[in-house]
C-alpha cells in the first residue's frame, strides 16, 4: 500500500507546527502517511501545485505568501472564493484540485469547543487582513452580526461591504462595540511581539467570549485582561488546532483524533 504524502506550501515554513500535529493523527489512526514542508520560490507556486498533483501528493496546506495565488490555480469552494484565499488543497478528486479555507472553520470550531453560541451573536473582529477576512465571513455564515474594526478604517468598510450583516469601524469605536458584544476576536498580530493589546481592558466584560488568533505567546495581554474581566478565553492554539483538524478531515474523510493533535501541538508551543 502506497504511503500518502501531505504537506505545507509556504515561504518560509521552517517553524511550522503542522507536521507534528498531523503526524500524531496518522500514528493514532494507523494511517500510512507523512506530512512534509515545501518552500518554493514565490514565483514558482503554479509549478509547485502542478508538480504536487503530478506526483500524487494527497493534500497540501498553504500559508504565507501563497494563499491568494493558490486561489487562482485550484477550483475553490464557495467560502474560499469569497474569502479570496485558499489554505488547504485536496487532490483526491478527478478534476482540478479543490481549494478550501479552513481558517474560518478553525475559528468557529475553537469557539464552539468552548461552548460559545455564534448564531445571533454580536461579534467584533479586530483586523481586516487575511485572518480577519476569513473569520468575519465564517462568523457571518454561522449567523452572527459582525462589526469589523481596523486601524485603517477604509479597509474595515471595504470588508464589511462584502460580508453579510457586517459593519466597518475604526479602532476609536472599539470600546463601545466591545461593551455590547458577545464575541470578540483579535485577528491582528498585536500582542505577538510585545505585551500589548488591541482592546482597552475596561471594555471587556463577563458576558464576552474572547478568541485571540495570536498563539505565541499563548496567554496574550488581551486574554489575561479578558480572564480578569470574567470573560471566556480561547487562545490561538485552538484556532490553529481546528484549522488542522478540518484539513485532516477533508483529506482523509475520517474524524480527526482531536485530543491527540491538540497534545502534539501544545507540547511544542
Q: Which of 10, 35, 67, 212 is catalytic?
A: 67
User: Are 231 and 210 contacting, i.e. CB atoms less than 8 angstroms apart?
Assistant: yes
Q: What is the distance between the alpha carbons of residues 31 and 49, in angstroms, rounded to a whole number?
A: 24
Please indicate whether residue 155 is annotated as part of the active site.
no
Buried b (16+ CB within 10 A) or exposed e, 89-126: bbbeeeeebbbbbbbbbbbbbbbeeeebebeebbbbbb
CB-based contacts of 209, cutoff 8 Å, min separation 6? 111, 114, 116, 182, 183, 184, 231, 232, 233, 234
Question: What pairs with residue 122 in β-bridges?
Answer: 145
Buried b (16+ CB within 10 A) or exposed e, 209-220: bbbbbbbebeeb
Question: Which residues are part of the catalytic machinery?
Answer: 67
Amino acid at each position: 500500500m502506497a504511503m500518502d504524502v501531505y504537506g505545507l506550501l509556504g515561504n518560509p515554513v521552517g517553524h511550522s507546527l503542522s507536521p507534528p500535529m498531523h503526524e500524531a493523527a496518522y500514528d493514532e489512526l494507523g494511517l500510512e502517511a507523512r506530512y512534509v514542508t515545501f518552500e518554493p520560490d514565490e514565483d514558482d507556486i503554479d509549478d509547485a501545485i502542478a508538480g504536487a498533483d503530478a506526483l500524487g501528493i494527497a493534500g497540501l496546506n498553504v500559508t504565507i505568501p501563497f494563499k491568494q495565488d493558490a486561489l487562482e490555480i485550484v477550483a475553490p469552494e464557495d467560502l474560499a472564493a469569497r474569502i479570496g484565499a485558499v489554505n488547504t488543497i485536496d487532490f483526491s478528486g478527478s478534476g482540478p484540485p479543490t481549494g478550501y479555507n479552513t481558517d474560518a472553520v478553525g475559528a468557529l470550531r475553537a469557539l464552539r469547543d468552548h461552548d460559545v453560541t455564534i448564531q445571533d451573536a454580536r461579534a467584533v473582529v479586530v483586523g481586516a487582513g487575511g485572518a480577519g477576512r476569513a473569520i468575519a465571513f465564517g462568523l457571518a455564515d454561522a449567523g452572527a452580526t459582525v462589526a469589523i474594526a481596523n486601524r485603517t478604517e477604509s479597509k474595515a468598510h471595504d470588508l464589511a461591504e462584502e460580508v453579510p450583516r457586517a459593519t466597518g469601524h475604526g479602532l476609536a469605536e472599539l470600546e463601545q462595540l466591545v461593551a455590547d458584544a458577545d464575541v470578540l476576536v483579535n485577528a491582528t498580530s498585536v500582542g505577538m511581539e510585545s505585551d500589548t493589546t488591541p482592546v482597552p481592558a475596561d471594555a471587556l466584560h463577563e458576558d464576552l467570549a474572547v478568541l485571540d488568533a495570536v498563539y505565541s505567546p499563548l496567554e496574550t495581554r488581551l486574554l489575561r485582561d479578558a480572564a480578569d474581566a470574567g470573560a471566556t478565553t480561547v487562545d490561538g492554539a485552538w484556532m490553529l488546532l481546528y484549522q488542522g483538524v478540518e484539513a485532516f478531515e477533508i483529506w482523509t474523510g475520517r474524524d480527526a483524533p482531536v485530543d491527540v493533535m491538540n497534545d502534539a501541538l501544545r507540547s511544542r508551543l
